[in-house]
Amino acid sequence: MTASIIDGKAFAAGLRARVAEHAAAFEQAAGRKAGLAVVLVGEDPASKVYVASKGKATIECGMNSFEHRLPEDASQEALLALVDQLNADPAVDGILVQLPLPKHLDEQAVVARISPDKDVDGLTPISTGRLALGLPGLVPCTPLGSLMLLKDRLGDLSGKDAVVIGRSILVGKPMAQLLLAENCTVTIAHSRTRDLPDVVRRADIVVAAVGRPEMIKGDWIKPGATVIDVGINRLAPAEGQAKGRLVGDVDYAEALQVAGAVTPVPGGVGPMTIAVLLRNALVAAHRNAGVALAEGAL
Ligand code: NDP
């Protein structure tokens, strides 16, 4: 058997097109564009690339992008003051502080300062609490994107056994909450889990968010299971190559032989993250401006 490949790139392109359509309608209804502000502190090269591509994607779908840069040695007070300013700015619907922050800054305190109504990364304590309580709110982009791919593939997830490997605040925990809200029977596995292959073998749905290249082997996977590989790991370069290959947390070649469907890396969950960020910004814009958005439109 060969698994079908879940094309996250195509799904993300469709979502971005829907965001662009609704962004135009929002502008008509609200008399202004939706706006997403991104804050970058310091000079981390990977963060600069992410911020640039987020800004470009925001403009491409018809929203305003506000980029704020602070120097590497910016103080906690200066960063909090910027967050306060963005919280108060009616042109800004979403605020994203690019993580990780330089070591001398208190990341948790900065994230907690973001208004929950503008928390497009879904990482504030209020957003986390809303997700746990089943209240409407903003949900972290990568897990929400993973859920969209699962629902697109499987429809109703009710009653399915789901195993999430990883319990980070960014991916594992919110992923488990989302699957629970879809009435899955959810197991969260982590570095202390015993007999991980056996735990994974029970699952109709496997979400791998570990950060270990190709750790999940084909014989851990129940035949026909749906596998979402969140991991992005760069291998050491082969001889003569400048850059190593990107692989996920799942042994993709092996998974293809056993699973029902699997996300590739790259081209699976990765492209969903920015698409969902844009979606979250536009959902926030509708709520902030009191403009209706049909349930499930995005
Ligand atoms: P973290 O490092 O924060 O969390 C990793 C989790 O995996 C932890 O809960 C850890 O357990 C668990 N873990 C580590 N080793 C093992 C093991 N041997 N067996 C079982 N569990 C283990 O990572 P993130 O959640 O932030 O990211 C996970 C992966 O997803 C990374 O590859 C990252 O690059 C990728 N990622 C991709 C995104 C995308 O856009 N596609 C976005 C965000 C992340 P414990 O808690 O016990 O330490």
The CATH number for 146's domain is: 3.40.50.720
38 pLDDT exceeds 80? yes
Same domain, 101 and 221: no
For the residues 21-42, what does the mean pLDDT come to?
A: 98
Domain closes at, from 116, 133, 162: 116
> Is residue 108, in this structure, part of any structural domain at all?
yes
Separation of 66 CA from ligand 1 center, angstroms? 30
Query: Within this chain, do residues 259 and 148 fall inside the same structural domain, yes or no?
Result: yes
Q: Are 251 and 180 found together in one domain?
A: yes
Q: For residue 295, what pLDDT is reported?
A: 85
In a domain, 83, yes or no: yes
Give the pLDDT score at 198: 98
User: What pLDDT shows up at residue 259?
Assistant: 98
Tell me which of 116, 133, 151 is where a domain ends. 116
Domain for residue 244, yes or no? yes
Of 164, 254, 150, 257, residue with least CA distance to 203: 164
- Last residue of one domain, picked from the residues 74, 99, 116: 116
Each residue's pLDDT tens digit, 181-201? 999 999 999 999 999 999 999
Q: What is the dihedral of CA 25, 284, 175, 44, to 10 degrees?
A: 100
CA distances (Å), 259 to each of 37, 189, 253, 256, in order? Answer: 40, 19, 10, 6
Residues with CB under 6 A from ligand 1: 142, 165-168, 170-172, 189-193, 196, 209-212, 230-233, 269-270, 273
Asked whether residue 253 carries a pLDDT value surpassing 90, the answer given is: yes
Query: Would 226 be classed as within a structural domain?
Result: yes
Q: What is the pLDDT of residues 264-291, one digit of tens each?
A: 999 999 999 999 999 999 999 999 999 9
Q: Are residues 266 and 154 in the same domain?
A: yes
The residue range of the domain holding 157 is 141-271
Q: Does one domain contain both 165 and 263?
A: yes
What backbone phi and psi angles, to 5 degrees, belong to 108? -60, -40
Please check whether residues 156 and 65 belong to one and the same domain. no
Residues comprising the chain, all counted: 298
Which residue's CA lies nearest to atom 34 of ligand 1?
232
Q: Looking at the domain assignment, is residue 251 inside a domain?
A: yes
Task: Say what the pLDDT of residue 148 is.
Answer: 98
Note whether residue 93 is domain-resident: yes
- Please give the residue that has the higher pLDDT: either 1 or 135: 135
Q: How confident is the model at residue 296 (pLDDT cuts 50, 70, 90)?
A: confident
Active site residues: 54, 98, 121
Please check whether residues 199 and 257 belong to one and the same domain. Answer: yes
124 located within any domain: no
Ligand 1 mean position, distance from CA 234 (Å) = 14
Whether the pLDDT of residue 66 is over 80: the answer is: yes
Atom of ligand 1 nearest to the CA of 268: 41
Number of domains in the chain: 2
- Which tens digit of pLDDT belongs to each residue from 154-179? 999 999 999 999 999 999 999 999 99
Mark whether 162 and 259 lie in a shared domain.
yes
Ligand 1 nearest atom to the CA of residue 270, by list position: 41
**Which residue's CA lies nearest to atom 16 of ligand 1?**
191
Q: Answer yes or no: are the C-beta atoms of 107 and 52 closer than 8 Å.
A: no
CA of 167 to the centre of ligand 1 (A): 7
Domain assignment of residue 3, yes or no: no
Please tell me whether residues 51 and 104 are part of one structural domain. yes
Mean pLDDT of 93-106: 97
We report the CATH number of the domain holding residue 83 as 3.40.50.10860
Q: Indicate if 52 and 155 belong to the same structural domain.
A: no
Q: Does the pLDDT value for residue 65 go beyond 90?
A: yes
Distance, CA 165 to ligand 1 centroid (Å)?
8
Q: What is the pLDDT of residues 227-237, one digit of tens each?
A: 999 999 999 99
Give yes or no for a contact between 248 and 234, defined as CB atoms under 8 angstroms apart.
no
**Same domain (yes/no): 146, 257:** yes
If you take atom 30 of ligand 1, which residue's CA is the nearest one?
Answer: 231
> In this model, does residue 140 exceed pLDDT 90?
yes
Find the mean pLDDT for residues 85-89: 98
Across all residues in the chain, what is the average pLDDT?
97
Mean pLDDT of 81-94: 98
Mark whether 62 and 152 lie in a shared domain: no
